[in-house]
Amino acid sequence: MKYLSFYIALSLSLSACQSYFFEELPPSVIKEIRVVTRITIVSKVDVLFVIDNSGSMAGEQRQLARSFSELAAGLELAFGDQYRIAVVTSGMLSEPNCPLCSQQPSSCINDSGESGVLQDLLGKNEGSDDRPQYVFESDPSCQIVTSSNPECAYDPIEKKGTLLVGANGCGYERGLASMRAALSHQNSASFLREEAVLAVFVISDEEDCGEVGDVSEGLAGIAGNVCYFASKGVGPEDTTNDPLGLPYRLTPVEDYYNFLLDLKDNRVGMVKFAAIVGVKDVTSLSSTTIEYSFDAARQRYEIDDACSTPGCSGDYCHSEPGTRYIKLAQMFGIGNNGLVDTICQSDFSETMKNFVELVRCPRRFHLTSRILDPDLANILINGVGVPFYSRSLSGQTEECSEPDDLDCETGRCVRSWKYCSPTQPAEPAHACLPSCPAPHEKAPGGQIVFAPHFNPCDSFAEGEEVHIEFVYATW
């Protein structure tokens, strides 16, 4: 199946022959919303997981591993055997505070995935989420996961895989630096393919700490909180420098954005970025900010939680804000080439579905505001309108004038797409009709879904750039 990065336009026109409830509304109330996107069609994807391996991440790694089958199934459906997956940790060598495992055996760090080296160890947690005890076994053939060895990422029977990277990693999480190191590393040549879309998936319950040397490490009473001070640009007492004199300033997020685009010759849509981090409100990302509170018992300022995992009662049930990861996803365009989701959830299955939706040909679209009347809306792809009704004959999709009996026989005329209001309950999957998914918190205006037979990607060739405009009226 081909992949499409694309852009939708809903264009409205009012008919004098029909009456609509909103005709009584004054013109000043009706608003037009327009979204524009460019996407490149590809049939291959390279996925890089950047996984936080600090002490609080055992539970999240377990959830990620358990939901991996959802991801693998989606990627195989969208790309067949043309997907690759590699894993790195958020740790970067920065002696003496973050040494290699071989240099600090009593508190072992997983060297295999540190400093951007592609992970080749199969991890297994023989302890609990609160008191993890990881054991690792080496398997160089698992450094790159494909459709032929998905159990390398996670084997649900053996409960081990490269996604389980351990919880003894560096407390100065540098996910973006590790990402850059991995994609610049000599061994990434066997992973990255020029013609494949690159999709980066970061999962962390802490803030990104920039590059090694951006902050002073090992500061008494501050420790890893210095990363938050530098990310915000000011400490809790309005200080702008740490005690060792380094300014509170991290390598700009823009540097990582430019690095990723440069890998794909600045072709928009060839890079996707997903941040599964601490978020206060996924529908209002600007609400996630770094705030400080003084802990009288510890006599130090702490970072306010961004979120807490529902139903969690262990030691590590909360997450701090991941503002730098969120910013990078926003630069790629949320809903187009960027995705943000909360790490504070007990099941990542829906997140995996959304990630597949990000990197494959989209079949559903989130709206920020309700459509006045879906019967007046049109979808245009490269300036050509999507027909309201269509049928599939001999593998080809063609326009038809009105719906037939809905028995899903070959060639029956059905609605090409459907508008699902934000309160529309989920519908069972239908063999030929578009079916509404469950309401989504990121779709306050509802969703648009295509019929099973209508795949907008099939009309375009590999490497073609597609322009789609999405315009609709709301109130």
- Which is more confidently placed, 7 or 390? 390
Q: Which domain holds residue 196?
A: 45-363
Same domain for 388 and 276: no
Q: Which residues of 457-474 are buried (b: 16+ CB within 10 A; e: fewer)?
A: beebeeeebbebbbbbbb
Judge contact between 36 and 471, C-beta under 8 A.
Answer: no
- Which is more confidently placed, 170 or 177? 177
Q: Is residue 3 part of a domain?
A: no
pLDDT at position 437 over 60: yes
pLDDT at 385: 84
Note the helical H segments in 33-109: 58-66, 68-79
Same domain for 30 and 74: no
pLDDT at position 52 over 90: yes
Domain boundary among 341, 363, 385: 363
Same domain for 301 and 403: no
Same domain for 409 and 345: no
* Structure confidence at residue 242 as a pLDDT band (50, 70, 90): very high
Q: Please tell me the least confidently modeled range out of 93-102, 112-121, 302-311.
A: 93-102
Mean of the pLDDT values across residues 346-360?
Answer: 91
* Structure confidence at residue 376 as a pLDDT band (50, 70, 90): confident
Q: Rounded distance, CA 339 to CA 350, Å?
A: 13
Query: What average pLDDT does the chain have?
Result: 85
Residue 427 CA to its chain's centroid (Å): 25
Residue 259 CA to its chain's centroid (Å): 18
Same domain for 326 and 215: yes
Same domain for 370 and 344: no
Q: Is residue 27 part of a domain?
A: yes
Q: Is residue 311 part of a domain?
A: yes
Sign of the dihedral through C-alpha 19, 22, 26, 27:
negative
Report the candidate in 473, 447, 349 with the shortest Cα–Cα distance to residue 23. Answer: 473
Q: Please tell me the least confidently modeled range out of 28-32, 237-241, 250-254.
A: 28-32
Same domain for 300 and 401: no
pLDDT digits (tens, 9 = 90+) for 121-175: 999 999 998 899 999 999 999 999 999 999 999 999 999 999 999 988 888 999 9
* Structure confidence at residue 328 as a pLDDT band (50, 70, 90): very high
Q: Is residue 370 part of a domain?
A: yes
Domain boundary among 330, 363, 396: 363
pLDDT at 106: 47
Same domain for 267 and 120: yes
Q: Please tell me the least confidently modeled range out of 171-175, 233-237, 378-382, 445-449.
A: 378-382
Q: Is residue 202 part of a domain?
A: yes
Q: How many CB atoms lie within 10 A of CB 333?
A: 16
pLDDT at position 114 over 70: yes
Q: Is residue 4 part of a domain?
A: no
pLDDT at 22: 42
| Structural domains counted in the chain | 2
pLDDT at position 18 over 50: no
pLDDT at position 407 over 70: no
* Structure confidence at residue 26 as a pLDDT band (50, 70, 90): low
pLDDT at position 6 over 50: no
pLDDT at 409: 64
pLDDT digits (tens, 9 = 90+) for 65-112: 999 999 999 999 889 999 999 999 999 988 778 776 666 554 455 666
Q: Is residue 2 part of a domain?
A: no
pLDDT at position 260 over 90: yes
pLDDT at position 405 over 70: no
Q: Is residue 1 part of a domain?
A: no
17 Cβ contact partners less than 8 Å away, ≥ 6 residues apart: none
pLDDT at position 325 over 90: yes
Same domain for 71 and 143: yes
Q: Rounded distance, CA 319 to CA 20, Å?
A: 47
Domain boundary among 314, 332, 363: 363
Same domain for 437 and 338: no
Same domain for 51 and 183: yes
Same domain for 243 and 131: yes
pLDDT digits (tens, 9 = 90+) for 453-467: 887 777 777 777 777
Cα-only R_g, the chain: 24
pTM of the model as a whole: 0.81
